[in-house]
A = this chain, B = another copy of it.
Amino acid sequence: MTSTRDQIIETTCNLLEMQGYHATGLNQIIKESSSPKGSLYYHFPGGKEELAVEAVRRVGDIVLERIQQNLALISGPAEAIRSFIMNIALNVERSGFRTGGPITTIALETASSSEALREECQRIYTAWQAAFVEKLRAGGISQDHAVDMSVMIIASIEGGVILCRTGRSRKPLEQVAQAIGEWVKHSL
């Protein structure tokens, strides 16, 4: 069944987000997902790298949906994006600063060591960017301007997550949320 496969992927998603790629061992994955090692290599013949690509793809798609749903809750782009970033801050805090930025660590770790993982991370960042572009365009911003702004938005969120986890505080992301909110509002 796909259930075993799914459980391995889900466990991998969580461990990769908390620990990163190189700190997460296959032994830990099979232990926490209660799956024997034989099954892992049956479902993912490419081993750790193939499994990680699959995990990154899954968590990336889930987060994309979450972005779209959150941005749809509030009509104005500025307030919608500000509110979305505030939510991230709360979630990072709630996890005890152990999660947040589900693909950030993997992106950095594997950017120059695994082409497959780098490409998958790049694909996801592009998809996330498109979701912000769509929201900004709906607010009347031009395509080119919306693309530039979305890069800035994603960069400041990713960096904000790093500062929150390092400083054990939700404040950096709250400051980012406020700054981005006002900046987008002023650009409308």
The stretch from A18-26, A66-74, A76-84 touching chain B is A18-26
Q: A105-143: which have CB < 8 Å to B?
A: 105, 107-109, 111-113, 118, 121-122, 125
Query: A7-15, A37-45, A149-157: which one contacts chain B?
Result: A149-157
Q: Which of A160-188 contact B (CB under 8 A)?
A: 160, 162-163, 165-168, 171-172, 175-176, 178-180, 183, 186
Q: Are B101 and A108 in contact (CB under 8 A)?
A: yes
So how many copies of this chain end up in the complex?
2
- Tally of contact residues, A, Cβ under 8 A: 47
- Majority SS at the chain A contact face: helix
Chain B residue, CB-CB nearest to A157: B159
Q: Is A104 an interface residue (CB 8 A)?
A: yes
Give the residue of B148, B157, B165, B179 whose beta carbon is less than 8 angstroms from that of A148: B179
**Interface flag for A158 (CB, 8 Å):** yes
